[in-house]
Amino acid sequence: MEAVSLLLETLLFRVPPRAVDGEHSAGWRRLGIIAADASMEEPYRRLCLFAAQPVTVLVLGESGTGKEAVARAVHSLSARVSRAFIAVNVAAIPGPLLESELFGHVRGAFTGADRDRRGLIEDANGGTIFFDEIGDLAVPLQAKLLRALQEGEIRRVGETRSRPVDVRIVSATARDLSREVEAGRFREDLYYRLHVAVIPLPPLRRRGRDVFLLARHFLDRYAGEYARGQLQFAPETLAAIGGHGWPGNVRELQNAVAQAAALAAPDGLLRADMLPDPIRRHRAAPADGVDYRSRVNAHRR
């Protein structure tokens, strides 16, 4: 079944069976990231170039494309690798709490502040802090972040003196920040401070055979986690995976494989009807106008 799956993947994308181990593919693999398609070569080149320099990095891409994984890779290849890496999702923390969470506070700064507390930026001192969904940061906090970038110092909530910090900032967003600037929702000066070393990530639908490599990676992971033994994709399951557009990108694919692995038959075969409904029903035609199921059926004949 492994040989059949590999042959079907090769047929669907018309690439040599093992022609996925280019320099960028091996480099991504060393960082714990599955990426073999040519569309991921330029992001890898930029990652290696920027990680070695003390520059502010901005990772761009749709939700679910792996922006935090790339941010962690930037840190792991930098001179700060032995220091802290702290990730914070700006959109996940309510606005009134975010300032204290990022910058800390002093005792008595607000109701319930019964002691001094460091913020996440101070916790990351000497290392890297990653701001996910930076486009959601409120304008007043954008000014405080700008000061940290320009002056290398912060002030805790309720404090009058500044504290020096040495922290590398990596940010990510799915938004078009230039449009946010035009709309008055994002400071132009902060935009230029963040938009220095940019790593754009392609959506999964533009990563060719990577969808199969990732699917197999997740399948092996969940086979182990669920103690299911060896699991394999049925041919029609591969066709469904290849035909779906993956609007949720890698995160959606991981969820789909996790669901299918939990439903796998005793023989270890994952049929298409074990995938989430939108995936098993969707069939996207490739550029040559031949759908993936037709390719699979033609090969089987």
For the stretch 162-200, pLDDT in tens is: 999 999 999 999 999 999 999 999 999 999 999 999 999
Tell me, what's the pLDDT at 21?
57
Which stretches of the chain drop beneath a pLDDT of 50? 1-4, 6-7, 9-20, 283-290, 292, 295-301
Tell me, what's the pLDDT at 301?
45
Tell me, what's the pLDDT at 108?
85
Tell me, what's the pLDDT at 109?
81
Model pTM greater than 0.75? yes
Residue type, 227: A
**Structure confidence by residue, pLDDT tens digits, 33-81:** 999 999 999 999 999 999 999 999 999 999 999 999 999 999 999 999 9
Closest residue by Cα to residue 284 from 240, 243, 256, 254: 243
Q: Is 211 exposed, middle or buried (0-12, 13-18, 19+ CB in 10 A)?
A: buried
Tell me, what's the pLDDT at 243?
93
Q: Domains, the chain, ranges and CATH?
A: 2-20+209-300 (1.10.8.60), 38-200 (3.40.50.300)
Give yes or no for a contact between 36 and 20, defined as CB atoms under 8 angstroms apart. yes
Beta pairing, strands 163-164 & 153-154: antiparallel
Residue 4's alpha-carbon distances to 35, 147, 208, 238, 254, in angstroms, are 22, 57, 19, 11, 22
- Alpha-carbon distance of 169 to 149, in angstroms, equals 8
- Alpha-carbon distance of 47 to 55, in angstroms, equals 11
Helix (H, G, I), strand (E, B) or coil at 105: strand
